[in-house]
Amino acid sequence: MNFPPILECKNLGKRYEAPVFDRFNLSLPCGKIIGLLGPNGSGKTTLIKLAAGLLTADSGEILIGGIRPCEKSKGIVSYLPERNSLPEWMNTEELIAFFCEFFSDFDASRAQEMIRDLQINPKARIKTLSKGTKEKVQLIMVMSRNARLYLLDEPIGGVDPATRDYILRTIIKNYQPTSTILLSTHLIADVEPVLDDFLFLKNGKIVRSGNVKEFCTVQECTLDEAFRREFRC
Ligand code: ADP
């Protein structure tokens, strides 16, 4: 069965002082884990925030499951911001209850299982947790929703390599085959094994994209090597 694209940009324009996107076009299919990869300032966070409905386009449009970002689209999008945004005064038990109330697609038992696996004290207030642990908790919350589109902005940047593996396995384990994950990261070698597709973004333009395995077979290199080659300073 063919599903319509989960995320589409049509002649999208967005600028701050200078343009970030100018007549940008993109179509992301359902059922893929897609790496959004590019150097600093290429527009990754801006694109993710536009899709999450936190920024509005200046021109053109961005569509989530065929509709413009709104309350309804936010109901099918699970967004992990680049910075921690958890309520610091809560503990993770309270956080899970809060998410249950807020998101009808939130799976509390999945969140509890991950909190247990990562040996996070459910009674400890968020503000007392280390930076890396806060990141883990935030990612657990985001991945415990049954969303259609997950937007993960640098999900593993602050966590140690061993936990990265757990988190990536967790992403795969909990991921529904009809959902799409758009994941931005600099840690390409770490995420490469879990990605289906990739997008190389440079100055607000897709300069290369495709299926990771096919691309790497043809190019006879890893995605990490291809990235370094593409964006060599
Ligand atoms: P990336 O996530 O790939 O590092 P960003 O989307 O954060 O890139 O930034 C893209 C461009 O937009 C950069 O040139 C950045 O300086 C600029 N930019 C991002 N946010 C703002 C802002 N709030 N005000 C002004 N310029 C911004």
**What is the model's pLDDT at position 1?**
52
**What is the model's pLDDT at position 99?**
95
Helices (H), ranges, the chain: 44-52, 71-74, 92-102, 108-117, 131-143, 161-173, 188-191, 212-219, 223-230
Low-confidence ranges of the chain (pLDDT < 70): 1-2
Q: For atom 5 of ligand 1, which residue has the closest CA?
A: 43
**Gap between the terminal Cα atoms of the chain:** 43
The model's pTM is 0.94
Catalogue all structural domains in the chain, each as residue range(s) with its CATH number: 7-230 (3.40.50.300)
CB atoms closer than 10 angstroms to residue 123 = 9
112 Cα: distance to centroid of ligand 1 (angstroms): 35
177 Cα: distance to centroid of ligand 1 (angstroms): 32
Residue whose C-alpha is closest to residue 33's, from 146, 136, 175, 134: 175
Mutate to test the pocket of ligand 1, among 14, 15, 20 (most ligand atoms within 8 A of CB): 20
